[in-house]
Structure 1
């Protein structure tokens, strides 16, 4: 028997062997795949807390956008797993899809959406967005092979959009500073649109290249939980790849690693020193996630949530109005409002100090204070939960694409039986990491899995 799963946050080793049954499989490694996980659960940063009364609280990502090739790939995987009936769809016409807010100058502002709203001035912006889009067509193509997101948007669409909208967006997606993040690695469609069409507007309207893929699930996995991974090494007697763990050694043909870059650097052999250094250079940021539940309906607006530019409050990244897009996760009886407050990111140390020293009481107080200030909620939450995710989101800085290319070139040149997947390399979203796992397996098997 086999069970299907995905590689978004797992470490996978392909191995040789061959008997039916999990017990024999784990001993013989017969023509199969084994997933190694250092904790007592799968999922990585994806984690749901289910209260005894049935209420659900997400401690990490809470949804995926089905747009584009990587989005469709995720939906294909869900269908292959037989989980389509478990999906909670949020349509484009839903209030949480249409209403997304920015908190600027002490007020909530609904982001413009639709043709009519980009034709007129909508606060907090000082002119219609159409003006920025129209003038963008005349901006010359950039000459550098990479650029910060802030510089790129300022140059093409104006400083105001970069300071408010893009600054907030990067805090919401990457928990990072758009002045330090790479546009080529973080937003490839924007970079490609300029390079191929000379304009974001024309590029996104006319298209700038798409991925292609088959609709089949990319891998069938068996899994075994391990408590600690000690080292990856080479051993000619036991096989091309040797994986040492606390209670023994695993010999395998190939390793697909979804470990964070720095974690992988700690288990590679000394012969991979240049790769180790490049892995260590990929930094990550810490995010505090505070779940709050209030009695009754306390929101002054309805929507997905609001983001906060760094100029307004460096410590607070944004607030998700969980009860609006996913009312199915509310308490079965009695109306409540569930919120998630995201804090820290690239500003965590500056605002809260070292993650090792910050207290949950301090984080909770900061979160509830922000909800009171931004949303006018005067009551205290009836239920709270604070989670601190250390080094959870990699930061793709300038030249990240060159670093990843160099690492994979080193692996190929040295003929290492290693593939790099996961959020440290080719995208931080749930869709991205699932797609990177599929791509790695298809590369190994020539697409025939």
Structure 2
């Protein structure tokens, strides 16, 4: 009888449990979550008047093998009818802004945008792209995102566009983030083709093969840029939880923090506050530092590597305004660190998911994201900053950047401590070192989740699937 313990009930742990549950090789799955809810950072507030607000990810990208895999899961869970797609032709996909030198600037798009000089840039982007083909291939096995873009496309693009992008996606500093781990497609493009442009045009090597199901096929046919669910993205972990409960093969435990794990003759002893569980194998979806504090001292090299993975804290402020108050329409705007270190960007939620607005009367929903790698420097310790201060900073930004003088009719402030792992230089080596230690010592342990192989929702789900396939393939 094989028992697998899954540590962490965020989307990674739920996904791993889901794939385990679908295999006949596994007898019993125990899912342990320390908090009072499953779903982790996928967290939606549904107001009684029909409005939906996202406190974590708000849209999921359908692109690539990982995106197709998530849509296949959504299909299998019976959620296809709940999907809210946003196509590439939608105004939110075409219009994205940067706030530079006290002004909003629409990012260039289409051929005409590439041919013209568009502020805040000092020359047409096509010039940077054309000259990129002549740049020699890098010789290092990793470099910072900022260094790579400066070298291949110019410092201006790195300082403004890429700095802002890394703040929007990773809440991180592009001068510290690893190109190879944060943007593996760009790294492979240069390595395989000697050029970023040629690599993206001609392909940069094989990727996982995931056959698209009906929903994924629809996303390709209709050219989706992103999607959500009618009742918010938290519907996805809720549906997985319900599926696991109905399967009868998974024991789900909330408020079950893992204190310590120790080796046993058959695998592991998992020590909880109120008892001990036995498991033949552990799949850990815990954040790297959280896992490091539970491991036995015999795993010291692994513990050290886990503790070396840094994280960023993000304040998320949801705002609702009466009426249509935006001076522009689009996805939102990002703010480079040179403009305002503490403010990462503002997302115009009601533009791309108007279905989440309250139905009675026009409203505007915005999300202001703050802090990230600069949280401590700008706001101080996350435990000491007040929600009132963060709300004031958010509404001031909306007023200053968008010219909105009215006060929000509703707001909610959340501080997500250590929510986004920071893949610094040589992250790939750290991850390989950890997995090598696990293999060499025959530890019945799998590492999944955003600490290792990608921070997006689909990356995390796919890491759960990959770990389960490897485990079952090994005949554990």
Q: Same fold (TM over 0.5)?
A: yes
State the shift of 1:32 in Å.
2.5
State the shift of 1:210 in Å.
3.3
Matches within 5 A, 1:329-408: 329-408=356-435
Which of 68, 72, 75 is the aligned partner of 1:76? Answer: 72
State the shift of 1:8 in Å.
2.9
State the shift of 1:30 in Å.
7.4
Per mean C-alpha deviation after superposition, the further-off stretch among 111-120 and 293-302 is: 111-120
CA contact (8 A) 1:282 1:395 kept: yes
Matched, 1:85 2:81: yes
Which of 246, 259, 263 is the aligned partner of 2:273? Answer: 246
State the shift of 1:36 in Å.
1.4
Going from structure 1 to structure 2, the CA distance change for 1:438 and 1:216 (only over 3 Å counts) comes to farther
Match of 1:9 in 2: 12
State the shift of 1:10 in Å.
2.3
The whole-number CA distance in structure 2 between the counterparts of 1:258 and 1:65 is 22
Per mean C-alpha deviation after superposition, the further-off stretch among 308-317 and 113-122 is: 113-122
Going from structure 1 to structure 2, the CA distance change for 1:94 and 1:447 (only over 3 Å counts) comes to farther
The whole-number CA distance in structure 2 between the counterparts of 1:413 and 1:344 is 39
The whole-number CA distance in structure 2 between the counterparts of 1:46 and 1:206 is 35
State the shift of 1:39 in Å.
1.3
What SS does the aligned partner of 1:123 have? coil
State the shift of 1:7 in Å.
6.8
Going from structure 1 to structure 2, the CA distance change for 1:57 and 1:313 (only over 3 Å counts) comes to same
1:166-197 Cα distance to aligned partner (Å, 9 max, x none): 00000000000000000000000000000000
Matched, 1:127 2:156: no
Match of 1:164 in 2: 160
Please tell me the root mean square deviation across aligned C-alpha atoms, in Å. Answer: 2.1
State the shift of 1:249 in Å.
1.5
Matched, 1:280 2:283: no
Match of 2:173 in 1: 177
State the shift of 1:407 in Å.
0.2
State the shift of 1:12 in Å.
8.7
Going from structure 1 to structure 2, the CA distance change for 1:384 and 1:130 (only over 3 Å counts) comes to same
Match of 2:6 in 1: none
What SS does the aligned partner of 1:85 have? helix
State the shift of 1:115 in Å.
1.4
What SS does the aligned partner of 2:350 have? coil
Going from structure 1 to structure 2, the CA distance change for 1:127 and 1:432 (only over 3 Å counts) comes to same
Match of 2:345 in 1: 318
CA contact (8 A) 1:151 1:179 kept: yes
What SS does the aligned partner of 2:120 have? coil
Structure 1: 5+ residue stretches without partners:
1-5, 19-28
The whole-number CA distance in structure 1 between the counterparts of 2:57 and 2:440 is 36
1:256-312 Cα distance to aligned partner (Å, 9 max, x none): 111000000000011001100110010101000000000100000000100000000
What SS does the aligned partner of 2:337 have? coil
State the shift of 1:250 in Å.
1.4
Match of 2:30 in 1: 34
State TM-score, norm by structure 1.
Answer: 0.92
CA contact (8 A) 1:13 1:255 kept: no
Match of 1:95 in 2: 91
The whole-number CA distance in structure 1 between the counterparts of 2:427 and 2:315 is 25
CA contact (8 A) 2:344 2:370 kept: yes
1:313-340 Cα distance to aligned partner (Å, 9 max, x none): 0000000000000000001101110000
Matched, 1:225 2:253: yes
1:216-243 Cα distance to aligned partner (Å, 9 max, x none): 999984241232211111122xx31111
CA contact (8 A) 1:80 1:216 kept: no
CA contact (8 A) 2:309 2:422 kept: yes
The whole-number CA distance in structure 1 between the counterparts of 2:31 and 2:284 is 10
The whole-number CA distance in structure 2 between the counterparts of 1:318 and 1:30 is 44
State TM-score, norm by structure 2.
Answer: 0.87
Higher RCO structure (Cα 8 Å, ≥6 apart): 2
What SS does the aligned partner of 1:38 have? coil
What SS does the aligned partner of 2:187 have? helix
Match of 1:199 in 2: 195
The structure where helix makes up a greater share of residues is 2
1:34-56 Cα distance to aligned partner (Å, 9 max, x none): 22111121111110011121211
Aligned length: 428
Match of 1:442 in 2: 469
The whole-number CA distance in structure 1 between the counterparts of 2:211 and 2:281 is 24
